[in-house]
Homo-oligomer: A and B are copies of this chain.
Amino acid sequence: MVEALNKALHQAMEADDRVVLLGQDIAQTGGVFRVTAGLLDSFGETRVVDTPLAEAGIVGCAIGMAVYGLLPVVEIQFDVFVYPGFEQIVVHAARYAWRTKGELPASIVIRIPFGGGVRAPELHSDSPEALFCHVPGLRVVCPTTPQDARDMMLAAIEHPDPVVFMEPKRIYRAGRKEVTDDPPFPLGQANGAPEKILSTARIARDGNDLAIVTYGPTVPLSIQAADRLAHERGIEARVVDLRSLYPIDVGAVTKAASECGRALVVHEAPRTAGLGAEVSSLIHERVMLDLEAPVGRVTGYDAPFPQFANEDDYLPSVDRITAGANKVLDF
């Protein structure tokens, strides 16, 4: 996925010289996760900028740049470090369009590598996406496959709305599949394509017995759990990869739940007021009569993300997803 994101940034910067990158340690070294590797060489230090260590400054300056007409892409070094920039995101990035009659959106992309499973020290493994989904005016997306990462990044940059782009760091290196060279739409003349790319869910595995709704790092795990269910009890689970966390592709989600009659939501973030609560509510509200069982949730716990020796206890695993699925199936 890292290479796919890097490719997208190359393509977007090549196609439009208003695209600029800001972040800590992104230029000279190519970033902690190397997502921006090589971009400094290609586009120079005015467009690929190592900034001072101050996230409110980074996000705030990016908003000012967007007001001028640039298309900034900001890297937050690790999930938790977005909080110093939280005020700028909530009170400005999210409301600039609304505050200007829709005429001047803060067209920025905020890239946030997030989640656990990389054996990192304290405060390098959080999943804050639900906070952004609760803030009106933002789009929140999360790719799972390299191809999606490339396409969604291009769409996020071209889309006028501010986009919080959650990057599942645990699967940064997974799936070395080839990514197409051609962009998913003619860059610079998108014509509605980015909106579509950024707002639709993807069926990651087909099936009609159980809908597993998830996103990011837990998509591959959910597919594994689905395979196990198929093997162990002949159950075919449909895995819905949300891709868009706000707005949720409610059609795809309710269709899956109602066709399967049973559903499970899976994510890494804490449970209470997480995205799973929203998905579960949406399903019950809309298609409860089609359900054979309440929607289940397999999530992180309402506890601080643990020190890494215990992170596999905290993270939803194939075992936990399978157990959660079995509970929904055996209800």
B-binding residues in A (CB < 8 A): 56, 80, 83-84, 86-87, 90-91, 94-95, 98-99, 122-123, 130-131, 133-137, 246-248, 269-270, 272-278, 280-281, 284-286, 288, 291, 293-297, 301-304
Contacts and interface: CB of A to CB of B under 8 A. Distances in A.
Greatest chain B CB density within 10 A among A130, A246, A277, A302 is at A277
A281 B285 contact: no
A270 B134 contact: yes
A133 B294 contact: no
A264 to B, nearest CB: 11
Contact of A280 (B95, B135, B277): B277
Nearest to A90: B83
Contact of A284 (B123, B135, B288): B288
Q: How many chain copies?
A: 2
A80 B98 CA distance: 17
Contact of A130 (B134, B246, B276): B134
A261 to B, nearest CB: 13
B278 A133 contact: no
Nearest to A305: B136
A142 to B, nearest CB: 14
Given A83-B91, A303-B98, A134 B285 contact: no
A272 B304 contact: no
Contacts of A134: 130-131, 134, 269-270, 272-274
A276 B209 CA distance: 28
A181 B86 CA distance: 41
B270 A297 contact: no
A270 B275 CA distance: 14
Contacts of A80: 90-91
A91 B123 contact: yes
